[in-house]
Structures are given as structure tokens and as C-alpha cells.
Chain A
Amino acid sequence: MSRGEGRMNHRCSSVSKLLEKYFDQEVTDEEKRLVEGHLPDCPACRETLHSMERVRNLIKSPVEVAIGKESFPWVWQKIEREIRLKERPTVRESLRSWLDRTPLFTRRVLIPAVVAIAILIFVAAPLLFKKSTSYPGPSVVEYVESQTYNVMVYELEDSKGTVIWLFEGPEKEISTS
């Protein structure tokens, strides 16, 4: 603490170390007696104490004035409202909490289920995506019946040709394409 060194007496050096503790009421009874015995004879130490008091007052006074003018019930109402608002979960929070609670999504169930689905996909995928090689059934375009011949005309699916069947009777048949 800066002070009027010129006015210090010989006991100042030992007492000055205690002044701040004395000001903060943190001294022992013995230290208190020592400081209080010294102060009446030492304007420099008294001035040091006054400086500390003035700083305290500068810091504290406006706070006391401010709190004296304040009323707090509305502050509590705002806090209460804020807590209530924040308590209402968002969609994401609700979903997360549902997932947390649902037994389907516990590890014991989830891991085997994922493995089973993966195996199923692995096995079924070639079957699902395999190109069918079976020859598509021809579509009949025309069928004519007569007493001697029965004729059936149909086109191949890729329009590469036309097949004509001639039936002479139930036993014989001629095919051209």
C-alpha cells in the first residue's frame, strides 16, 4: 500500500504489514492491540487505512443504492417462466428420450437385429437384383380355326420374328418362322 513514507515512525514497518489484515478484521487479538496502540501516533498509517476505506466505499456504495431501489418478485416470475419453457422438450429431445426408453433399441436387441438384417440383405440381394434369363412367353396375335387347318400366329417379344403354327389335326403340326 502506498503511503506517506516521510511521516512513518519506526514501528510502521512492523505494523504496516498488519494494516490490511486489521482493516479486513482478520488479525488476532494481539495483533489488533499492536495496531490500535500504534495508530493514534501515526498519521501515515491512519491515512493508509482511510485510503482503503475510501476504495471500499467507492466500490460498495453504488451497489447498496442499486439494491435499495430494486424489487425482485418479477425477477422470480421470469425465472419460473424460463424454467417452464426450457422444461418442455423439443421434438428431437422427445425422439431421443423415446429411443432411450424403447427396449428395441437397447444394445442387447439392437446388435443381433442389425446382424440378422445384414445377413438377410446379403443373401437376398443377388436374388432380388439378378436378371431373369427365362424366355418370355410369346403372346398370341391371332388364332384361326378351320375344318382342315388351325393356324396360330404370334410375335416374339423383341419383335425379331413371327411364328406361325399350322395344325392339321390333333396329331400333326407344322411350324414356320
Chain B
Amino acid sequence: MNDNEAEVISRCQQGDQDALKEIFDRYHRKVYRVAYGVVRQREDALDIVQEVFIKLFRSIKNFKGKSHFYTYLYRMVMNTAIDHTRKTKRIPSSTINEDEGFQLSDDAEKRPDRILAHKELEERVKAAMEKLSPDQKAVLIFREVEGLSYQEIAEAMGCSIGTVMSRLHYGREKMQEMLRDYVKGGRKDESPLFLSI
């Protein structure tokens, strides 16, 4: 945490909304990425972003500066997103909108059959992620989406690096198993983006 960030946090702790705006400007994309990574649905992810910043404004007084601010925020986002998933579990999971999911890179990709294939793929990924435990899901998103180091993930989740590695390993293994058709050697109908890894 640099001096400027510490000063902004301190102002926010005193109830300064402009300071919250500065934090929002700095972190809203990260918050959205984690939220979207968990719920995989635009509206829900945006709801989580709002909820997180409102919650942050009320509880930032509890941040004592013993850890990095971003790991504190990541923990808050993850908890909020996982809670959100629990609450909405009773409601049948919404289908992915046409403009969500994988990038359709050219006109050929925008053919109805390709759109359908992409939608099906994203539904499969979503279903597979729902089968992971909340902890496995959290480490996978922190690592694969946000690119956090093991140390940063451990700090955000309040566990050891060994635990992070173990959760990551079993999470990946489960995902590979559940998405076997897409992972092992790739499928013939994969989009160029999907193959460009």
C-alpha cells in the first residue's frame, strides 16, 4: 500500500465519499472480474459490485492496515459473491445472454450454430464451476482470472500457501474432468480465441 492509497483509505474511514470514489475508480474492474468469475452473469456481477462498495464504505473502519488493502477487498468481494450464489441457488440459474460468454471474433463465428456452441460451452463452464467447493472456486478465480500469486491468495483467504496449492490442484483437476471434451486436445468446433492459449 503506497502513501497515497493509505491517505485515501484514511479519508474513506472518516466517511469521505470522494475517497470512496477514488477507491472505486481504482478497483471496480478487479471487483467486477472476481464477481463475474463467480456468478458468470452480468446483472448479478453488477449487483455484487454495488453491494461490495456500499459494504466497504460502512466497514472500512475495520481495516487496520495489517494486510494489503487489495487482499482485504478481494476477500470481501469473494465472500459477497459466494453469499450471492447461495442466495440465488434456489432460483433456477439464468441462461447466458447472447452477448455474454466467449468472444465471437469474426462473421463466421457469429453464425447461429457457432453462437449456440459458445453458449453451450459457457453453460458447461458455469455448471462445472458450480460443482466446485466455494474455496476451490475462490482460489481458481483469484489465480486464473486475477493472476494473484499463491502468497496473495493465501492472504486474501486467510490460509496457508500449502492450502492454496492443494485447493488449486484439486479445483483444476475437477474442472479438467468435468470439461474433458473441451480440455483434452480441444474440440474441433472451438473458436480461434479458445484455441489461442
**Chain A contact residues, CB within 8 Å of chain B:** 1-2, 20-21, 24, 26, 47, 50-67, 69-70, 72, 75-76, 78-80, 82-83, 86
Contact = CB atoms under 8 A, between A and B. Distances in A.
Contacts of B120: none
B176 interface: yes
B interface secondary structure, majority? helix
B3 interface: no
A79 B53 contact: yes
Interface stretch (B32-40, B69-77, B79-87, B106-114): B32-40
B100 A62 contact: yes
B157 to A, nearest CB: 16
A66 B126 CA distance: 14
Given A60-B144, A65-B103, A67-B32, A54 B125 contact: no
Nearest to B57: A83
Interface residues of B, number: 52
Nearest to B25: A76
B68 interface: no
A66 B37 CA distance: 10
Interface string B158-173: 0000000100110011
Interface in B163-197: 165, 168-169, 172-173, 175-177, 179, 182-186, 193-194, 197
B172 A52 contact: yes
B102 A61 contact: yes
Nearest to A20: B169
Contacts of A56: 144, 197
B150 A24 contact: yes
A1 B184 CA distance: 12
